Amino acid sequence: MENLLTLGEHVIFSIMGLASVLALAVVIDRGLIFRHNGMIGEKIFSEIISKFRQGDLSGFGRYPEQYPESVYARFASFIAEHASSGEAALSHMMEGKLIEERMFLEKRIVILSSLGNNAPFIGLLGTVLGIIKAFYNLGTLGNTGAEVVMRSISTALLATACGLLIAIPVVMLNNYFSRRLKGIMMSLEIMAKEALACVTRNK
């Protein structure tokens, strides 16, 4: 039984190690995406809105080449490409494009949410296994096994600590990315409304 409990502890720590690597990969991936749509994205957004208000819906065709990671550039290019479709058709097409861009930005963020929610429970499972092992050793070795029992309990508590060390930054970063996503989507909705207003004025 002790061997099974020890194996369980090793599996738990291996899972948490893999979870931390996966979380780091997702954070780097999404961090780069949101970084490209940060200060430079806000500058592009301001330029696009300014042109829309001047009645200009063209001239955005090369934006995706100049800013390949910018959702603002892709959205402006899409609007320019379909501006001649009419107000109603453009409105529906922009709704679809907004959903597409949201899916792009949300990609893999659900992994952070899952890791943040489940890492503490994985650590708690490791703690439970460690405490079971400690009591098993106590029953087997008696008073002579006090040191072994203490080591088992310390390892058990370490599992919970590792789970929390993974969960806390992951939850914070997930909240940060969610806020950034909400801000970008609001900006895209503003672009859509400004584009429709421009089409209406240019009739």
pLDDT in tens, 62-89: 787 888 788 988 898 898 888 888 888 9
Whether 98 and 190 have beta carbons less than 8 Å apart is answered as no
Tokens representing residue 139 in the block: 């029953």
CA distances from 96 to 42, 62, 78, 79, 99 (A): 22, 21, 11, 12, 5
Show pLDDT as tens, one digit a residue, over the chain (203 residues). 667 777 777 888 888 899 999 999 999 999 988 888 877 778 888 888 888 888 887 777 778 788 878 898 889 889 888 888 888 898 999 999 999 999 999 888 989 999 999 999 988 888 888 888 777 777 776 655 567 667 777 777 888 888 899 999 999 999 999 999 999 999 999 999 998 888 887 76
Domain boundaries, the chain: 2-201
Helix (H, G, I), strand (E, B), or coil: what is residue 108?
Answer: coil
* Distance, CA of 48 to chain centre: 27
Instruction: Name the H helices within the chain.
Output: 2-36, 39-53, 63-66, 71-82, 87-106, 109-141, 146-201
